[in-house]
Chains A and B, each alone.
Chain A
Amino acid sequence: MEYKFQPFQVERGKIKEFAKSLGYTNPIYFDVESAQNKGYRDIPAPPTFPTVIDFWNDTPYYTFFKKIGLLPEFVLHGEQTYQYKTTICAGDTMTGKVKIISEERKKGKVFYHLETTYTNQFGEIAVIGNATIIDIKGNEKV
């Protein structure tokens, strides 16, 4: 099964808010000139920014969860890997595609292995995310 996010516009203000919420102080996240002086096209997104794309695009993770029968408050995050190919910058339009790689039932829980590919407007894959999420109610209806 494959699920597509709605194209997501990466904005400077969103990067700033996200970087601030993690306590970043590096000016490349707040000031275009500082970013360009370091060789970036525009303000770069911090490494874990793909999570913003997951949750703030118009068909977010929650819609996907619903589709596969998951209730957010029963979902835990087990593992996460990001592979970085090219930097995401403000001004980019990102598309995301989630695939369920596998699904395992263990001790009344369901472990989903998800792979998400984030592609920019140039058709380049920017980031590949691999996640294990755990449905602690074992995907039974409650």
Chain B
Amino acid sequence: MNWEKEYKFSHIDLVKYCGASGDFNPIHTVTHVAERKGFKDVIVPGLMTMGLVSRFIEEQFQLVNLNQLDIRFVSPIYPDEKLFFKFEKSSTIQYLVNFQIIDNEGVMKAKGSFQFSNDGEE
């Protein structure tokens, strides 16, 4: 059970997400603040990336009972970047899936894992 999702965040996605979540850190929505901090554009909120991961998990399984979801944010994710979310079932631990998010150039953006207990194997 390995699978991959391609995804691109848009600027307006970030605005919607920040409003919905209440994360009004300006580095996610105000370009000149993000640039002043040394970023090339606004950056995608970490929890938004994690939210996408949770959606992709749900879309993959019929019914998933999440026990734990972990993510480490390795490098900034920007809107309009092409991203690949790669999921790989652990070969040693049952009900554990590891994932990585990489960009077009193979740069690691984030990685993590999730554990579930369920009957919802695809």
Contact = CB atoms under 8 A, between A and B. Distances in A.
Interface of A: 14, 17-18, 20-24, 26, 38, 46-48, 51-52, 54-56, 60, 62, 72-84, 136
A68 B63 CA distance: 40
Interface in B15-65: 16-17, 19-27, 33, 37, 45-48, 50-52, 54-55, 58, 63
Q: A-B pairs with the 9 shortest C-beta distances?
A: A55-B22, A77-B46, A21-B20, A47-B54, A48-B51, A56-B22, A21-B16, A22-B51, A21-B17
Given A73-B26, A84-B66, A22 B52 contact: yes
A83 B67 contact: yes
A79 B47 contact: no
Q: Please classify the interface of chain A as helix (H, G, I), strand (E, B), loop, or mixed, using the class held by over half of its residues.
A: mixed
Contacts of A20: 16, 20
Interface of B: 13, 16-17, 19-27, 33, 37, 45-48, 50-52, 54-55, 58, 63, 66-73
Given A51-B23, A73-B25, A83 B68 contact: yes
Given A48-B51, A78-B72, A18 B26 contact: no
B69 A60 contact: no
Contacts of B26: 72-73
18 contacts: A14-B20, A21-B13, A21-B16, A21-B19, A21-B20, A21-B21, A22-B55, A51-B21, A52-B22, A54-B22, A72-B24, A73-B27, A76-B73, A77-B46, A77-B73, A80-B46, A82-B66, A82-B69
Contact of B47 (A17, A62, A77): A77
Given A46-B54, A47-B69, A78-B73, A72 B25 contact: yes
Given A18-B21, A22-B52, A52-B20, 17 more contacts: A18-B20, A21-B19, A21-B20, A22-B17, A22-B55, A26-B58, A48-B51, A55-B21, A55-B22, A55-B23, A56-B22, A60-B22, A77-B47, A78-B73, A79-B71, A80-B73, A82-B66
Contacts of A72: 24-26
